[in-house]
Chain A
Amino acid sequence: MNDTNRWTTTLDIWSSKIGEGTYDLIFLVRTESPAVTHSKFVGIKKFKQSKDGNDISPTAIREIMLLKKITHENVVKLINIHINHVNMSLYLAFNYVEHNLYEIIRHHMDKLNHSINQYTIKSLLWQLLNGLSYLHRDTNMQVVVTIWYRAPELLLGAKHYTSVVDMWAVGCIFAQFLTLKPLFQGVEVKATSNPFQLDKLDKIFKILDHLTLEKWSSLASLPHWQQDVRHIQGHK
């Protein structure tokens, strides 16, 4: 834990913020720790304070529980956890991974101005599927994804779903590797906790045709299909 103490004090003195999510900030920190195998850099995720007060957020707890279970070459490795008892901040230290898929796609689009080599796509897709396969098999976990990659059942308000939603996301990413553009780039509605994403569904329908009960019998049980069927069919 001493390493993390050093990292967390370093955050304010020497570090660079390399990302920000809904619940967290990501910093890049240099370290000499023997625990870090591949790199002299560590990615430190600092969780934002929970809305309810000073307790540790359920999101952070769930993430830690899952990450502690996971040991796989295609899943980023959690190497340390630290709680700063003074301000109740929670820090997770990961082996630093230099690039993400978004950066690779951007690089090909902006700098190289040509599509990704098919062998690279094959390799990236294999790594993605290998990691997902492990998560589904060993942790029984679904990976909740950003709206561009969200499966129709999620967009239609399904409360119970399986790992097939991740396969939809993989398909969307595969298409993006090939074209360098998101396949279904809908505009996200953020009005309520689970709003109806009509624009996003419309993008899917334009490419894959409209949904019907004949094609998909369990549609009738999905909340937004029941409530918004007229809107959906009105977009035909």
Chain B
Amino acid sequence: MSFVRNYQAEDRSLHSGYWSTFDGNNYGNNNRKRSRNNYYNRNCNIYNDNRTKFGDHFNFYNADHANYARYDAVRSSLKRRKYSAPVWQESQQYYVPPMVHDNIPSAYNFQGPPTRSDGDASTSASCKRDCSIFEDDKPVFMSRDEIDRHSPSRKDGIDVHHETHLRYSYCAFLQNLGMRLELPQNIIGTAMVLCHRFFVRRSHACHDRFLIATAALFLTAKSEEAPRHLNNVLRTSSEILYKQDFALLSYRFPVDWFEQYRERVLEAEQLILTTLNFELNVQHPYVPLTSVLNKLGLSKTVLVNLALNLVSEGLRSSLWLQFKPHHIAAGAAYLAAKFLNMDLAAYQNIWQEFQTTPSILQDVSQQLMELF
């Protein structure tokens, strides 16, 4: 451990990385055995207690992490903190401080609210409110206004603009992780949609989005019959989050950091399943898009490629929570045609083929435009 100690003392910038899934309190204990169950009974406001407890050891900084978040205005009380000096407990174990990522309390020790099946009195008010109006079994389509106004993150002070960027950040992370794990695009897309569904039911303030995203991709790969070994998923995600080779990470963290990360991801997998009530089926617009354009003799055209790209871009929006796949397909085709100065109205019954209306077309294409 002395090597780690010296390494940390010499390089203060080491902690600009992100590891929000550690529970600092675990490292001071000799007894490392932790009941998995306590994850479901933690309080997302513990962040505030720890900030007070360890406040002396932090200073403020505003670095960007891994290009996964890009936004400006932050409330000063939620600024990211950087660890300024090593803290040593009596056990001489190195303590990894709580990190606040991207200016919101990211629940570094993954303090999720209880699942619907395991209510607990100790849960904070904000996390108790998490599931508010989204308790249905099946993913119900919502209006954009409903998503924006009723998101549980709103009650924790995260505004629409901020949440949009949080959404972009975990989608960028998922795209990177999925490609490095050589997963097909539809699986990566499904994982993104599952994360969107999760965060209309749970607050960003209580859940580390990168942990949820990692678990969602691991889960989706299994559900789509392309499973990836958990250890590979964990290694790759930690390399992406730290922009560092996995072999070097063991020098930065306590001996059992990987095992703890593994447990957190498995707990997150269960939380996703219970939060979404095991609704893992996601339909994508790719099939209706290609089949309708095929029917109209527009296959193998620039229009198809552009529309497909627009659909892929659209994954980072909340469109999948608002519209059926054929509606998104129609909006993408409409917008692609606009870009290419094509008049799709010349193709008879095209919008009937997509089973859509002018207002839906307008809405979908408008939201796709906003992504650029």
Contacts and interface: CB of A to CB of B under 8 A. Distances in A.
B230 A55 contact: yes
Contacts of A54: 266
Nearest to A64: B278
A97 B36 CA distance: 35
Contacts of A57: 222
A68 B223 contact: no
Contact of B280 (A55, A65, A83): A65
Interface stretch (B86-94, B148-156, B242-250, B268-276): B268-276
Contacts of B278: 64-65, 68, 81
Contacts of B301: none
A1, A52, A85: residue with the most chain B Cβ atoms closer than 10 Å:
A85
Given A1-B116, A83-B273, A85-B118, A55 B223 contact: no
Interface string A84-102: 0110100000000000000
A55 B266 contact: yes
A55 B227 CA distance: 12
Contact of B36 (A55, A69, A86): A86
A185 interface: no
Given A1-B116, A83-B274, A58 B222 contact: yes
A195 to B, nearest CB: 22
Q: Is the interface of B mostly helix, strand, loop or mixed?
A: helix
A82 interface: yes
A65 B274 contact: no
Interface string A29-73: 000000000000000000000001111111001101100110000
Given A52-B230, A55-B218, A85 B270 contact: yes
A53 to B, nearest CB: 7
Contact of A65 (B267, B269, B281): B281
Given A56-B269, A81-B278, A86-B37, A61 B219 contact: yes
Count class of interface residues, chain B: 20 to 34
Interface in B252-289: 262, 266-267, 269-270, 273-274, 277-281
Given A1-B117, A81-B278, A88-B266, A56 B273 contact: yes
A85 B269 contact: no
Nearest to A67: B278
B37 A69 contact: no
Contact residues of A: prevailing secondary structure: mixed
B179 to A, nearest CB: 21
B230 A53 contact: yes
A226 interface: no
B266 A68 contact: no
B225 interface: yes
A50 to B, nearest CB: 9
Nearest to B229: A52
Contact of B37 (A2, A53, A65, A85): A85
A4 B278 CA distance: 15
Interface in B217-239: 218-219, 222-223, 225, 227, 229-230
Contacts of B36: 85-86, 88
A135 B246 CA distance: 45
A93 B79 CA distance: 46
B35 interface: yes
A108 B312 CA distance: 58
A5 interface: yes
Nearest to A60: B222
A222 to B, nearest CB: 22
A61 B222 contact: yes
A69 to B, nearest CB: 7
Interface in B21-47: 35-37, 39-40
B269 A55 contact: yes
B117 A82 contact: yes
Interface of B: 35-37, 39-40, 115-118, 218-219, 222-223, 225, 227, 229-230, 262, 266-267, 269-270, 273-274, 277-281
15 contacts: A53-B262, A55-B218, A55-B269, A56-B222, A61-B222, A65-B223, A68-B278, A68-B279, A69-B281, A83-B117, A83-B274, A85-B118, A85-B270, A86-B36, A88-B36
Which 7 residue pairs of A and B lie closest in terms of their CB atoms, listed nearest first?
A1-B117, A58-B222, A61-B223, A86-B37, A85-B37, A64-B278, A58-B227
Given A64-B278, A65-B281, A86-B35, 5 more contacts: A53-B266, A55-B230, A69-B281, A83-B117, A85-B115
